[in-house]
Amino acid sequence: MKTKQRQRQVKPAEVRLDELVSAAQVLFLEKGMKATTVDDIVERAGVAKGTFYHYFNTKTDLLPALRERFARRFLERVSEAVEACAEDDWRGRLSAWCQRSLSICVEDFRLHDLVYADHYHDRSDPDLNQVLDQVEAILRAGGEAGAWPQADWRRLAVIAFWSMHGLADDLIARGGDSEEVGRFLSQRLLAMLGGTGT
Amino acid sequence: MKTKQRQRQVKPAEVRLDELVSAAQVLFLEKGMKATTVDDIVERAGVAKGTFYHYFNTKTDLLPALRERFARRFLERVSEAVEACAEDDWRGRLSAWCQRSLSICVEDFRLHDLVYADHYHDRSDPDLNQVLDQVEAILRAGGEAGAWPQADWRRLAVIAFWSMHGLADDLIARGGDSEEVGRFLSQRLLAMLGGTGT
């Protein structure tokens, strides 16, 4: 090891596990997964190599943990933004969902691409289902409170999520103001919820 | 070779190329790309092995050709459905786009997953841009004819495409009636186009 070895303290197992996951995340993003070694990870995490092998066999085994954390933090951060709105402000809650989920997708796209690299065709991916559940709950609660007409909430959640996801990709590819796009998305979703079309 | 060797005829180069691509598509879908050999492909295509190596180095080199063909056929089939509507039937044209693109995604999802396996994070993918151009043109033409208010057509195309794509994935994962979902999608998009939200 080239750098000074960090002081090893007795830490609870979940803390050491979390430190391994954090170290891997930083290194995978900095140098790529291919160039990162298990030695790099344990050195950065300041844990013994044995601790790594207690939890994992190879560095790629860290990906599910990174994915789980990405999804959990996504859900937490979006939920925080939604819960900052009044409980009966349904339009506000939906707008908060649009703004926050879009801004996270744009800010964290490299991490997103890293953790979901092989998961795009998994149509029953549990993370995707959790994210769909979150927006579906907002849509359903608003519908039940009479903010917009009753509808097929799951399908509307699919439309809301993938519209957000596509606009985030478009922002990443072409640039633009993510707040402005968030407002555009929430206005369009509200229009879609209110009307019945032909 | 186990099966009877097909009669070799002198065919134009583009026909032989097309036969190679067709043979690879069938075999990749049947046995998977890993289990398919170059021998399998030339045998099925009824062309000499030298012809294969004239165009490609390895079987994976066929993927861009498969992708190009998938995108071209997608665009052609959707365009056919749209052009079957009257030139000024904007709602009908948008509905035809919804119905046809959704039904192709559901019918051909295995081919779709095969050819786009590594392309999901390519945010400037030319195929995606062509498909977005197609629906954008429908939205813009309708807007210019006064069928719905002027708007940011590119962003609406992104919403339309990814809503369709997400609903197709949902149909593949959970089952359902693709025609009914196509009607749901076109009604929702029309509502979204007509209103301006808050």
Strand segments, DSSP code E, in B59-100 are: none
B11-22 pLDDT, tens digit each: 787 888 889 999
Please tell me the number of Cα atoms within 13 Å of B28 on its side-chain side: 22
Which range among A44-53, A167-176, B189-198 shows the weakest confidence by mean pLDDT?
B189-198
Residues 6 or more apart from A60 whose CB is under 8 A from it?
A: A33
What chain A holds in terms of domains, given with CATH numbers, is 13-57 (1.10.10.60), 63-194 (1.10.357.10)
Determine the average pLDDT of the residues in B161-188. Answer: 95
For B:35-74, CB contacts with A below 8 A are none
A117-175 pLDDT, tens digit each: 876 667 778 889 999 999 999 999 999 999 999 899 999 999 999 999 999 999 999 99
Q: How far apart are CA B118 and CA B165, in angstroms?
A: 17
Q: What is the ipTM of this complex?
A: 0.88
- Interface mutation target, options A94, A192, A193, A196, chain B, most CBs of B under 10 Å: A192
Are B173 and A197 inside 8 Å of each other by CB? no
| DSSP 8-class letter at A57 | S
Are B155 and A120 inside 8 Å of each other by CB? no
pLDDT exceeds cutoff 60 at B132: yes
Amino acid at B160: A
Q: Taking CB atoms and an 8 Å cutoff, what residues of chain A touch B114?
A: none
- CB nearest to A167's CB, from B158, B181, B191: B158
For A:85-114, CB contacts with B below 8 A are 91, 113
A122 in contact with B at a CB cutoff of 8 Å?
no
B158 in contact with A at a CB cutoff of 8 Å?
yes
Residue A122: per-residue pLDDT: 72
Burial readout A141-153 (b: 16 or more C-beta within 10 A, e: otherwise): bbbeeebbeebeb
Residue A16: per-residue pLDDT: 86
Are B197 and A197 inside 8 Å of each other by CB? no
What residue in A sits closest to B91 (Cα-Cα)? A198
Alpha carbon of B165: minimum distance to chain A alpha carbons (Å) = 8
Q: How confident is the model at residue A1 (pLDDT cuts 50, 70, 90)?
A: very low
